[in-house]
Amino acid sequence: MAAVEVEADGVLSEMIGIGNVCVDAEIEHKGFGRLLMSAAGIYIRENKRKGILLCKSKVKGFYHNCGWQIVCSNNTWINFERYHDGVMMDTEEPQRYKSLVINRNF
């Protein structure tokens, strides 16, 4: 987990970035990934922040099952570099922004 600054359509907020969620291949599909995301969600809510994560399309379904939503933006930048993969947030509805600028990778 990492503190990140996110500027979404010009509005700056501090969020908690979730990265490197990983479960050993021998114990995949037993609920441990969901458990990790649940613990991360508790931490995020306790700190009164929004959560953000970067993900490849093949794992979007996993995060969606854990209650995270797709963020649409055709103009996403991370640490001054253009980013083209998926972004998700722990919001109730999918989000759509014209531009999303994240200050660091995580």
Ligand X SMILES: CC(C)(COP(=O)(O)OP(=O)(O)OC[C@H]1O[C@@H](n2cnc3c(N)ncnc32)[C@H](O)[C@@H]1OP(=O)(O)O)[C@@H](O)C(=O)NCCC(=O)NCCS
Q: For the CB of residue 9, give the shortest distance to ligand X in the complex, in Å.
A: 24
Tell me which residues in 16-75 interact with ligand X (CB under 6 A): 21-23, 28-34, 55, 58-59, 61-62, 65
Q: Which DSSP symbol is given to 14?
A: E
Minimum distance of ligand X from residue 34's CB (angstroms): 3
Name, in order, each residue with C-beta under 8 angstroms of 49's C-beta and a sequence gap of 6 or more: 14, 15, 16
Dig out the tokens for 84 from the structure.
């083209």
Q: How far is the CB of 52 from ligand X (least distance, A)?
A: 12
**How near is the Cβ of 57 to ligand X at its closest, in Å?**
10
| Nearest to ligand X of 24, 48 (CB atom) | 24
# binding residues, ligand X (CB under 6 A)? 16
- C-beta separation of 95 from 69 below 8 A: yes
Binding residues (CB under 6 A) for ligand X: these are 21-23, 28-34, 55, 58-59, 61-62, 65
